[in-house]
Amino acid sequence: MLPTPIRIKFTKTGALQFISHLDLNRTMKTVMIRAKIPIHYSEGFNPHPKMVFALPLSIGAESVCELLDIKIDLEMTSYEIISRLNGALPPEMRVLEAYIPETKFTDIKFAEYDITADAPVDCTPLDAESVFVMKRTKTGEKECDIKPMINRYEPIPGGIRCVLSATSTDYLNPEYIASVLGFTDYSIMRRRVLISDGVTEFR
């Protein structure tokens, strides 16, 4: 029997917003064992659980749409997977869905965020034809126009909702939006990941 691919959608909120992607990886490996999920292991001298996350989340940001792809060696229902994992996970991390994927993570093109702040929100700076920031790159910081990476935005009570580029080559961290708007004390929630039309939710 070939291993069955499973996509897991889960939340990462509260205190868990401050754990790194590496720590999240370790946590999930431990949880898979504790929950007795028959996860498929790689072959070779150092076998390890085959797990792939979509769009690593920045430390300090929360999410209700984190995605993890695994493979399992035994048949399980979605209900069994969700129930077992939620029984082993901390309260700030809840599994919402478990299903066989029909898409690849490379189909993710945008992510939708809510950025809320304890101050009046003025979206005017984003209306400009160009929005320049000092963006971190592999070779250091450089001035970059992030306007082409902003799909759309709208004010919400206490903040802004924005859809930003989320490809491997053009990923825009929502912290840059907070910076442009002059936020100093703010929170970020990733709400959805989207396909190329910027509207349809990725599954």
Based on the domain organization, do 9 and 64 belong to the same domain? Answer: yes
- Residue the block writes with tokens 């929502």: 174
In 3D space, the residue among 119, 128, 37 whose CA is nearest the CA of residue 85 turns out to be 37
Using alpha carbons, list the distances in angstroms from residue 177 to 75, 144, 174.
Answer: 44, 13, 5
Q: What is the pLDDT of residues 104-128, one digit of tens each?
A: 999 999 999 999 998 788 899 999 9
**CA gap 150, 113 in Å, rounded:** 11
- Say yes or no: 121 and 152 in one domain: yes
In a domain? residue 201: no
Write down the pLDDT at residue 50. Answer: 86
Are residues 115 and 86 located together in one domain of the fold?
no
Greatest extent of the chain over all pairs of C-alpha atoms, in Å: 58
**Which tokens belong to 130?**
């160009």
Q: Determine contact, residues 111/194, Cβ cutoff 8 Å.
A: yes
Looking at the fold, whether 95 and 121 belong to one and the same domain comes out as no
* Average pLDDT of the residues of the chain: 93
CATH number at residue 25: 3.30.70.580
Q: Tell me if 68 is assigned to some domain.
A: yes
In a domain, 84, yes or no: yes
Last residue of a domain, one of 102, 137, 160: 102
pLDDT tens profile 74-96: 999 999 999 999 999 999 999 99
Residues 38 and 85 occupy one common structural domain: yes
CA 178 to chain centre: 18
pLDDT for 190? 98
134 within a domain of the structure (yes/no): yes
Residues 89 and 130 in one domain: no
Residue where one domain finishes, among candidates 102, 123, 150: 102
Range of the domain at 23: 4-102
Using an 8 Å Cβ cutoff, are 195 and 202 in contact? Answer: yes
Which of 62, 77, 102 represents a domain boundary (last residue)?
A: 102
Whether the Cβ atoms of residue 165 and residue 172 lie closer than 8 Å to each other: yes
In a domain, 202, yes or no: no
Is the model's pLDDT at 23 over the cut of 90? yes
Residue-wise pLDDT for 165-189, tens only, equals 999 888 999 999 999 999 989 999 9
On whether residue 200 sits in a domain, the answer given is: no
